[in-house]
Amino acid sequence: MSLVLYPILPFLRDLTFGIQFIFMASLMFVYADFASAIPFSNTIEGIVYLKKEFVKKRVFWTIQLEAILYSIMFGLLSAWLLILISGTLFKPTVWNEELSLKMPELPAV
């Protein structure tokens, strides 16, 4: 999945933190949980292929809550890393001697 993101990383860096978070969290939720190729009670394949007695609402919503929490954590971490890597959070400062503090000249007595 990370190789797929390389072409769009420059565009993601230009977005705000909130948009980056929503994009990465929803990407994680869809790819890792909802559209995964495992027939379980919370995936598309599980809903299609499993019998109705295995797809219970309680189990479905419990697993969805866990998946949403993991997606939120992944979205926050990845958006923070994108900002950190792009340099918008910590910009290095260059010391300029013209801007340095100098002692003012005292008037002659």
Within a domain: 91: no
Q: What is the pLDDT of residues 39-63, one digit of tens each?
A: 777 777 777 777 777 777 787 788 8
In a domain, 67, yes or no: yes
Per-residue confidence (pLDDT) for residue 93, from 0 to 100? 47
- Residue 66 placed within a domain: yes
Q: Quick one: tokens of 15? A: 């977005």
Give the chain's residues under pLDDT 70.
Answer: 1-2, 87-107, 109
Using DSSP, state whether 96 is helix, strand or coil.
Answer: coil
Number of compact structural domains in the chain:
1
Tell if the pTM clears 0.75, that is, is over it: no
- Full residue range of the structural domain in which residue 23 is found: 11-81
Q: Is 18 inside any structural domain? A: yes
Whether 98 is covered by a domain: the verdict is no
- Specify if 2 maps to a domain: no
In a domain, 22, yes or no: yes
